[in-house]
Amino acid sequence: MDEIGVLREAFGPEEVPSQAAENRARAALHQRMSSKEQRVIRIDRHRRNRFVIAAGAAVAAAAAVAAVAVVVSGGDDRPPAPVAAPTPSSPARGVLPFARPASAAEYLENAAWTAERKPWKEPRPDQFMYIETLELRNKPAYEREHPNDPIKAGMGETRKIQDWNSIDGQTKASYKDGRLVVTKRGEGGDTWDRIAWSTITSMTSPDKVPDGVRGPGSMGIDLDAFIGQYVVPPNVQAAIFRHLAQTPGMTMNPDAVNIDGRPAVGLGRIIEGYLSQELLFDKQTYQFIGERLVAIKDHVTHGDDGDSVSHRGDVYRQVIYSKMTIVDRPGDTQ
């Protein structure tokens, strides 16, 4: 690995230092490499966060960042100018908690860390949560006849779904037969339940996030469903990820693939002994992008209407959240 590769390794997989910082690092390291000194660089890989390497003595670092020591034997031991380290005032230049997450808990901590750094403006009660999904489904005719079947080869298609729900829970909208239909609670006897915004915004830490979300209008909805049905503040999304990281039985499927073939990681739990219920995250950015339900082994389910056979790899549900944002009115998408 060359000197800039070492520098990038210290910053983590996504945080690239400025050009000025790279130039300083290259000049300093080339100066040391041109001498006859023998140097050993030791990087503490057992700490969560890494610090930027500087040749010479150990470099003073921000309290949250692990130190990287450089040991020099003989010769001039004056350290070169240190490379600028990430600072709390510039969160995009921070260091991920785990450079190479090896478990569901570590990956979820990276996802929480990433979520916390998203911009956010508290919405007004009359604004709307807009959620746009791409769902992999069987073709309508086949789905009507076989509603519980997995996605069949040659039968699957991607459907774009758009939903708007007001922050105050009093209005919803969606497209039906190509027409945007807006419904007010109580119109024509139509009613529904939505979790109160005050309940959502109260979930600011893992201990405040129950497995079944409780509070006004909640109906004890599972977190796996909740996270894709509501646009929540970044600190709430981070708290949910950290709560899930503490949940027994969470597994990581590094080979999950999302709806358009881009690499994704699946984090979830085994249900009924043969199905993996997974939340999907972008493999590079740790962004939450969707969910899926997939069989992890062959299984036969006995029922009154006959046996249902599942095969390893069968996908029963796969949804990608292509957009989740706050908008002013139904029909708005940004």
Q: Is the pLDDT of residue 192 over 60?
A: yes
Distance CA 164, CA 333 (A): 9
pLDDT average, residue stretch 181-193: 89
pLDDT average, residue stretch 134-149: 92
The pair phi, psi for residue 324, each rounded to 5°, is: -140, 110
Q: What is the model's pLDDT at position 253?
A: 87
Distance CA 250, CA 224 (A): 12
- 267 with 108: CB under 8 angstroms? yes
pTM for this entry: 0.69
30-34, 185-189, 253-257, 295-299: segment of lowest average pLDDT: 30-34
Distance CA 308, CA 258 (A): 26
Distance CA 68, CA 55 (A): 10
Q: What is the model's pLDDT at position 65?
A: 31
| Mean pLDDT estimate for the chain | 77
For residue 119, what pLDDT band results from cuts at 50, 70 and 90?
Answer: very high
Residue 325's H or E segment, with its range, is strand 315-327
Q: What is the model's pLDDT at position 189?
A: 82
Q: What is the model's pLDDT at position 243?
A: 94
Q: Is the pLDDT of residue 311 over 50?
A: yes
Distance CA 16, CA 34 (A): 26
- 268 with 278: CB under 8 angstroms? yes
What are the Cα distances from residue 2, in Å, to 5, 30, 170, 300?
A: 5, 11, 59, 54
pLDDT average, residue stretch 44-67: 33
pLDDT average, residue stretch 91-116: 88
Burial 296-327 (b: 16+ CB within 10 A, else e): beebeeeeeeeeeebeeebeebbbbbbebebb
Q: What is the model's pLDDT at position 143?
A: 94
Q: What is the model's pLDDT at position 219?
A: 63
